[in-house]
Structure 1
Amino acid sequence: MAAPDNIIVGSHVWVEDPVLAWIDGEITRINGNEVYVNTANGKKDAKVSGQNKQSSYLKEMEKLAVASNISKVFPKDTEAPPGGVDDMTKLSYLHEPGVLQNLATRYELNEIYTYTGNILIAVNPFQRLPHLYDTHMMEQYKGATFGELSPHVFAVGDAAYR
């Protein structure tokens, strides 16, 4: 399989990681289905491949590798805002690692609600957030145009009611 056009040496990408799910890095080399990535967490020249090689060098590299096929390497949006986006249709790449990174970024900022179009995604904060559900908050969303205010369950409820 040929590499997608936007996956080239120097590209910032997401690669699968057995611990973190996805990790970002920069492609240093491409050889057929093999992609070598300097990852952000320090795994240098990690090999991403769909092939099994027998040499001791490659076996050693595979210990550091995030094993995958080039088809499982996804471009990273280097221009995404540091706080994420409130509607994921604004993302340059709507793929699993991009979505998960955006949700994680917003979660760290205590923004538990995110839209994907008119779909509301809620990430469980594992704590009570009474300020999100008081009467004042409900009144703010009453009659507001969908998407005018920050993502919230009240926005979806009001839009459904109307």
Structure 2
Amino acid sequence: MPGHVVLKSTGPDPDPTEYLYVSLEQKRIDQTKPYDAKKACWVPCEKEGYVIGEIQGTKGDLVTVGLSGGETKNFKKDVVCQVNPPKFEKCEDMSNLTYLNDASVLYNLKSRYVCKLIYTYSGLFCVAINPYKRYPIYTNRVVKIYQSKRRNEVPPHIFAIADGAYMDMLQSK
């Protein structure tokens, strides 16, 4: 923007913790979610993409699923996806998910984004969801968190990718 001046704030960089790590309190909440591996499922939804449901029965190629609000619907077996156990809630690397399906990937990305965790790994890739807000995760304080660390030692961030590339470049010249 012409004529727009950005002033550097004085003082120490703000604490980036809430934008990088899932809090212990949030982890406790996530671990206590009700979960039944045989009944929990994802089903397609026009409005939401996928919604969570509970399998109530199967008859041939159709699965009867109970949805929130007491509604019951039948779905073809091939569109019903399994739900990951609560230990995978807000997973940092989606390649570690027990059930890797579209619904689980979208759910994981959304649940991390809602908690201001905009970076997530998917195997070798770093997925970023732009919040269109300024988070204090591109400061010198954050650079120091990622310097000389392996990717699995720190939460997902573009700095981890950049530092890994830099270290590889130094080693292979």
If the length of structure 2 is used for normalisation, what is the TM-score? 0.70
Please tell me the residue identity of whatever aligns with 1:34. Answer: L
The structure that is helix-richer by fraction is 2
Please tell me the residue identity of whatever aligns with 1:113. Answer: Y
Query: Which runs of at least 4 in structure 1 moved beyond 2 Å after TM superposition?
Result: 78-82
Task: Tell me the distance in 2 between the aligned counterparts of 1:78 and 1:118.
Answer: 23
Q: CA deviation at 1:81?
A: 4.5
SS in 2 for 1:132: coil
Greater relative contact order structure (CA < 8 Å, 6+ sep):
2
Tell which deviates more after alignment, 71-80 or 119-128: 71-80
Q: CA deviation at 1:99?
A: 0.7
Match of 1:99 among 89, 105, 108: 105
Residue segments in structure 1 that go unaligned for 5+ positions in a row: 1-9, 49-68
Please tell me the residue identity of whatever aligns with 1:15. Answer: V
CA contact (8 A) 1:80 1:91 kept: no
Q: CA deviation at 1:104?
A: 1.0
| Equivalent position of 1:6 in the other structure | none
CA contact (8 A) 2:88 2:97 kept: no
Taking only aligned residues, the RMSD between alpha carbons, in angstroms, comes to 1.5
Residue segments in structure 2 that go unaligned for 5+ positions in a row: 1-37, 168-173
Identity %: 31
Task: Tell me the distance in 1 between the aligned counterparts of 2:64 and 2:98.
Answer: 23
| Equivalent position of 1:137 in the other structure | 142
| Equivalent position of 2:57 in the other structure | 29
Q: CA deviation at 1:94?
A: 1.0
Task: Tell me the distance in 2 between the aligned counterparts of 1:79 and 1:139.
Answer: 31
Change beyond 3 A, Cα 1:43–1:17: farther
SS in 2 for 1:24: strand
Residues 1:152 and 2:157 aligned together: yes
| Equivalent position of 1:119 in the other structure | 125
